[in-house]
Amino acid sequence: LGKTAFGIQVNDRFQQDEADDILTYLTESEIVDHKAVNIFIEDAYCIDTYRPCYATLVPKMIRGKYRVYLHLTVEGKAKVKYDKYGNLRHKYGKGMIGADIGTQTVAYTSDTEVGLKNLSERGNSIQTSERKERLLYRAMDRSRRSTNSQNYNTDGTVKKGYRSWKYSNYYKKLKAKHSELCRINAVNRQLAINEDANHLRSLGDIFVT
């Protein structure tokens, strides 16, 4: 990695609380461990020590730049998230929730709400991005076919056997755009799943599937 500098960037209160608890354990590990053991012996209750268990380096290509992130696996429950006014960001409901999770949709019912929605969908933005993704892929295919016409049959299928492929600079630019768009769409899908889980958790605490 050469002269690449590693650092921590704290953007919100949740990240700040998590980082503070981890640093507290690293500076007072013996005291925290001793306290956790005593509480478990006396009250049979496990406290959150926020002891770092595993560290993983995760490389990612973001906007054409190679970035390396440090993923920490920490002992204990995650910190509670608050909004800028100090209120709980995600409220926990009470009651039973019936959910039928399919491959593309989820149907749910509770004491206060009934709904049917598509999985991994956040409005029309994801649909628009996925359409752009398909358009870029088709443009890449056209560029690849025009540059390597000798590798295709007259009916458009790829010839059998060994083939050498050449890629133009235009194809490489399209591939970079396509990879970045795929990364953004994957992040949006994961965020949509997290939002759906938080919404269902706000309706009740007992799930029946």
> What gap in Å lies between CA 119 and CA 104, rounded to an integer?
5
Looking at residue 18, its pLDDT comes to 85
Looking at residue 167, its pLDDT comes to 94
Provide the 10 A C-beta neighbour count for residue 97: 19
Give the pLDDT of the chain (209 residues) as one tens digit per residue. 445 554 555 567 788 888 888 888 999 999 999 999 998 898 888 889 999 999 999 999 888 888 998 888 999 888 888 887 888 888 888 889 999 988 888 999 998 899 998 888 877 777 888 899 999 999 999 999 999 999 999 998 999 989 999 999 999 999 999 999 999 889 888 988 898 988 999 998 898 88
The 3-class SS string of the chain reads CCCCCCCCCCCCHHHHHHHHHHHHHHHCHHHHHHHHHHHHHHHCCCCCCCCEEEEEEEEEEECCEEEEEEEEEECCCCCCCECCCCCECCCCCCCEEEEEECCCEEEEECCCCEEEEECCCCCCHHHHHHHHHHHHHHHHHHHHHHHCHHHECCCCCECCCCCCCCCCHHHHHHHHHHHHHHHHHHHHHHHHHHHHHHHHHHHCCEEEC
Looking at residue 7, its pLDDT comes to 54
Provide the 10 A C-beta neighbour count for residue 89: 12
> What gap in Å lies between CA 122 and CA 91, rounded to an integer?
20
> What gap in Å lies between CA 14 and CA 78, rounded to an integer?
9
> What gap in Å lies between CA 188 and CA 19, rounded to an integer?
25
